[in-house]
Chains A and B, each alone.
Chain A
Amino acid sequence: MNENVKQSSGHLYIRRILCYAVLVIFTVLCLFPFYILFVNASRSHVEIQLGFSMIPGTSFIRNWSNVVQSQTIHIFRGLLNSVIIAGLSALLSVYFSALTAYAIHAYDFRFKNAIFNFILIIMTIPTQISALGFVDLMTSMGLKETFIPLIVPSIAAPVVFFFMKQYMESSLPLEIVEAARIDGSSEFHTFNMVVMPIMKPALAVQAIFSFVTSWNNYFTPALILTKAENKTLPLWIAYLRSADFTKFDLGQLYMMIFIAIFPVLIVYILLSKFIVQGVAMGSVKG
């Protein structure tokens, strides 16, 4: 008996080392792009063009001040715009997707299955296919150059809805809802005070995904925002990318990307701790 335990723990030890080895390789793979972004952000345009390097250059400050001092690129305004749009999108998206999923999950009503299937179908529709109609409509509604077409649509996010629905199926027993009803809680109150806390891990995961998606979105903002004061970071990056030869500056471009990634990285690292904990907590309860 004792022998057995020892053997299997030795076996475990080897497995653990193997796992760590694989994980370290993937960690390097995952961090490598960030490192190269940093390296390139510290090199001058010509240095970047003339060849690849693993060693940081000396132009970090110069690239930084080029971006920050630029009279055309409104970097901080762009950051603020991106934060507003991505932040509100993520909030609206997780809250209303949970609400929608809850409607389907907790209630019985006619057309429930039809509605569920309908949302599944619309989930598959690429945003690009309605691009032309979207711009037409937003123009005629006078919503161009506003953030509304970029924020409000995230209320109807079928993909997030689907995740919430799946999560509720595995982690939200209806008995809890019943218990709340018996306590006299109103339906809306139950959703906000009972259901949402249980959904925390799912909310955190999807909040990150939604935030990042919105933060990195180029396609829709490019259709809606053109004025300098409204532009988001991806639009400025595209602007730098298409600069002509006299102004094309890879150093500045990589610096811009670096600046754009930094806030997401922070938001992510902050939230990710919460996720790891949240997932663990969710499992204990579930």
Chain B
Amino acid sequence: MSAAAENAPGEAKVIPIESAPSWTSPDRPALADRLADAVGGALSGQLGPAATRLFGKGWEGRAADGLAFLRRRMTGDYEVDEFGFDRELTEDVLLSLLRPLAEKYFRIEVRGIENIPAEGGALIVANHSGTIPLDALMTQVAIHDHHPQHRHLRMLAADLVFVLPGINELARKAGHTLACNEDAQALLERGEVVGVWPEGFKGIGKPFAERYKLQRFGRGGFVSSALRAGVPIVPCSIVGAEETYPMIGNFRTLARLLGLPYVPITPTFPWLGPLGAVPLPTKWTIQFGEPIATDGYPAEAADDPMLVFDLADEVRETIQHTLYKLLVQRRSVFF
């Protein structure tokens, strides 16, 4: 380390300003050296056993992993796919932040995870509810944590998500993309698990009185995408999300002013201010149903509107019936 030698007190009588240790000067390793010696000395002395007591055994390993992660992030040494999916950030940060919510707060029970194939494309179609798309995020955590292959769910999100600053950045990094035929098909053909909530804002923004009543499924574009890619459709029923933010009203004028699909009124929002944004701690169940195969149809089936509507109806009925079944089995909203 030549820089360190130059700065040794015996040799350098006058330290020129350019070589003074600073953030940009080439002598920074000298500063790092001194820091390192200090920290190293402390660790080998009293601090080492103290740290072990404080952080538990194996803290050095975890610290080393953390530093390696920090190093990769700071130097830009990680990969994102064409859609902007940052696997490392999603696994190490985003999912870790959501996991306590899924496991401790909503205590999600996952059923039928074996219906999601171990490899290759699949289209998960689920019911949408709860004012804020928490159900979609929780499904992503559930699939990653419960599936033996820890597959990532690539969601198709509304265009509103990609217009909002900040949200669009996070959504892309978490692997989500715009709900359009081109992106859906591209992802399915790459063999990804794609999630779609075809009710859209009609489902997520419906009043509490209509809970667990599936809304219209749009044009069934998701069925065409699945048919073109020849991947199975997995119906998914989510119980518990409806009661997180029971929507009893809607500020229509404010929503129109802000360009949002709705501005909800719940028993706690906006009355309690930011506290009203805390979801109710309901108990959730996510059930994945039997996959519906689409590879038996001829190539032009995707352009046959009757077949597309029939399949969309089949998926919709399956989800609705499963919802009713799960609701009958449910003991209470919160337990």
- A and B associate in one complex: no
Interface residues of chain B, those whose CB is within 8 Å of chain A, are none
- Residues of A near any B CB (own CB < 8 A): none
